[in-house]
Structure 1
Amino acid sequence: MRIGEASRVSGVSARSLRHYEDEGLIVPGRFGNGFRDYCQSTIDRVLVIRALLESGLPVRLIRELLPRLTDGSGPGTDAVGAEFLREVQSFRDRLAARIAVLSDQRAALDSYLREARRTEL
C-alpha cells in the first residue's frame, strides 16, 4: 500500500512514516516509480514503534530494541541486552524523577489555589 493508505490504516501521519524510515526504524519497499510500498508487516512494526514512542522511549533505544522484538530473542539475552536494560532503567528513573518534580509543582499550585479561593470569600 502507498503511504497515504499506510497512514490511514496505521493512524500514523505520512510525515511520521517518513521520519521512521529516515531513522532506520522501518524499510518500506518501493514501487517501480519509486513510491513507497508498505506491507502489513511494516504497518505492524509501525504500530509497535508508535506504542514504544508513546511510552516515552527515545528513538535511539527503540532502534536498538526493534530487532529483538522481531527475531524473538528479547532484551536481556546477552551483554548488549543487559546494557540495553540498564539504559531503559536509567530512562525510567529519570522519568520518575521528572514525575516527582511535576507532582510537587502540582501540589504547590493546588495549595496556592486553595488559599486564593479562601481569600476570595
Structure 2
Amino acid sequence: NFNQWPHGHKITLHIGDALQLIEQLSRQYGPWDLVFMDANKRNYADYYQAVMPHVASGGFIVADNTLWYGKVADSDAHDAQTLGIRHFNSIVASDPRVEKVILPLRDGLTLIHKL
C-alpha cells in the first residue's frame, strides 16, 4: 500500500526483532519525533526503555492496547500479555521524564510526551 500513496517512497519498512532493530535504526535515523508501539505486549517495558533514549525532547511515544480488553484492571488476569502491559503502564506512570495520558479508545491508547 505504501507504493499507492504519493509519498510512499519516503517510507522504509523494517521487519525483524524490534529490540535489535531499535539500535540499528537509531544510528541511521535518530532522534525520533514519534514512535508507535504495537508489538508483543510482554515486552512493552523493554521496548519503552530501548526507544526512550532515541526519542527527541518534545517527541511522542504512542502505545497501543494499554487497557488490554480491560484485563489490566482485572485482578484475576495473570497471563503474560496482561502482566506485560501492567508493568509497562506502571513504568510509564512513574517516569518523571514524560507527560502521559491513557485514552480509553477501543483497547486503550497511551500518549507519552517526552519532556
Higher helix share: 1
* Larger RCO (alpha carbons 8 Å, 6+ apart): 2
Shared fold per TM-score greater than 0.5: no
Normalising by structure 1, report the TM-score: 0.27
Alignment TM-score, normalising by the size of structure 2: 0.28
Greater C-alpha radius of gyration: 1
